Amino acid sequence: MADGNDNYGTREKHQMQNKLLITGATGLLGANFVHTALASGWAPVGVALPCRVPQAPAPMHELDLRDTAAVAGLLDRVQPAMVVHLAALTNVDWCEDHAADAMVLNAEVSGKLAGLAAQRDIRFIYMSTDSVFDGARGGYTEADQPHPLNVYAASKLAGEQRVLQSHPAALVVRSNIFGWNAQPKANLAEWILAKLRAGEPVPGFTDVVFAPLLVTVLARLMLDLAASGASGVWHLASAQAVSKYDFACALARAFALPVEQVQAVVSATVEQRAPRPLSTWLNGAAAARRLGRPQPTLAELLREFCEQETGGYTKSLRTSMGEQI
């Protein structure tokens, strides 16, 4: 005869099966991933350093991922079904001047975390970047050979390799992102919008081509790809490759702002510490076939991006996941 304890045990087992440990949980992708995971029926647990988010909709832990013993202890306490490793040093110019630090966090720590997950039979997703390619032609598939041009990209590629060495069943995702940031740190799309709304000119590179995804869409695709049993390296991208100039123009149109404020320039006019690849757009056809759905168009992504602001999602994100001093 079943009793309350049996029901409790079933419920507890279900919760364990749906626990998701997300590193870098207060970053651009991480904060949105927490919200997306909740909406998708997962029970996310966030990790960040620092971690000052008292209004977070999920449990949050402040943890230095370089502390292997502390990481192992947290995995044993949380017992997640999957780790989504999003934490990384992403400032390209900073990484160029701090190569050792970039390699430690983006590569060494990633490999160790993947190894800890493998020992505990925990699924693992590692977030990489389209920048692992040199950008000479674009349209890169998973079969193409990476050739990073800067320290950041090299450290992320080394992270891919170490993760798959430590956890052969891991899922490695390459992409390029935009979205609403929970923190007061504007990404490309937010920076463009701020300039447009202030009536200021917006320089748009005509020679830098990418196929970006809205962070919430990417999070959903990553979870679906993992649910399909995929492992190894996969590319997730929007359906069209666009220059950053075209992206800025499309963003202006989506938010009914003056397109004429966007000015066509080439990337060589801006001095940058680290070399950047030009055409890194990814071919996401393999993942689309795996998931049985077409790649999202830029128009669809920008429509959702706009609706997130008008529908209150952006405010909710910043209220719940924005760090407080």
**pLDDT at 155 > cutoff 90:** yes
Q: How many residues does the chain have?
A: 325
Half-sphere exposure of residue 84: CA atoms within 13 angstroms, side-chain side: 32
Q: What is the pLDDT of residues 17-31, one digit of tens each?
A: 699 999 999 999 999
**pLDDT at 8 > cutoff 70:** no
**pLDDT at 14 > cutoff 80:** no
Phi, psi of 161 (to 5 degrees): -65, -40
Q: What is the pLDDT of residues 225-243, one digit of tens each?
A: 999 999 999 999 999 999 9
Query: Residue 268: its pLDDT value, please?
Result: 81
C-alpha distances (whole Å) from 36 to each of 52, 214, 220, 269 are 20, 12, 7, 38
User: Residue 273: which pLDDT band, with cuts at 50, 70 and 90?
Assistant: confident
Q: What is the pLDDT of residues 167-225, one digit of tens each?
A: 999 999 999 999 999 988 889 999 999 999 999 999 999 999 999 999 999 999 999 99
Q: What is the pLDDT of residues 29-82, one digit of tens each?
A: 999 999 999 999 999 999 999 988 888 999 999 999 999 999 999 999 999 999
Least confident of 18-22, 54-58, 301-305, 307-311: 54-58
User: Residue 276: which pLDDT band, with cuts at 50, 70 and 90?
Assistant: confident
Name the amino acid, one letter, at 216. T
- Token pair, residue 258, equals 């003056």
Query: Residue 244: its pLDDT value, please?
Result: 96
Q: Is the dihedral of CA 172, 178, 240, 307 positive or negative?
A: positive
- Token pair, residue 313, equals 């999602």
Name the amino acid, one letter, at 191. W
- Token pair, residue 247, equals 């992206």
C-alpha distances (whole Å) from 176 to each of 66, 214, 319 are 26, 9, 25
Query: Residue 53: its pLDDT value, please?
Result: 85
Query: Residue 325: its pLDDT value, please?
Result: 56
Q: In degrees, to the nearest 5, what angle opens at C-alpha 301 toward C-alphas 42 and 281?
A: 100
Residue 95, helix vs strand vs coil? helix
* Mean pLDDT value across residues 249-272: 92
**pLDDT at 281 > cutoff 60:** yes
Phi, psi of 203 (to 5 degrees): -75, 130
Instruction: Give the mean pLDDT of the chain.
Output: 92
C-alpha distances (whole Å) from 9 to each of 16, 167, 235, 260 are 11, 30, 39, 61
**pLDDT at 5 > cutoff 70:** no
Query: Residue 104: its pLDDT value, please?
Result: 97
Q: Is the dihedral of CA 115, 47, 87, 174 positive or negative?
A: positive
pTM over 0.85: yes
Query: Residue 213: its pLDDT value, please?
Result: 98
Contact between residue 149 and residue 136 where contact means Cβ atoms under 8 Å apart = no
Query: Residue 16: its pLDDT value, please?
Result: 53
The Cα–Cα gap between 200 and 191 comes to 11
Residue 11 burial (CB count, 10 A): 10
Instruction: Enumerate domains of the chain plus CATH numbers.
Output: 4-185+212-237+280-297 (3.40.50.720)
Contact between residue 86 and residue 24 where contact means Cβ atoms under 8 Å apart = yes
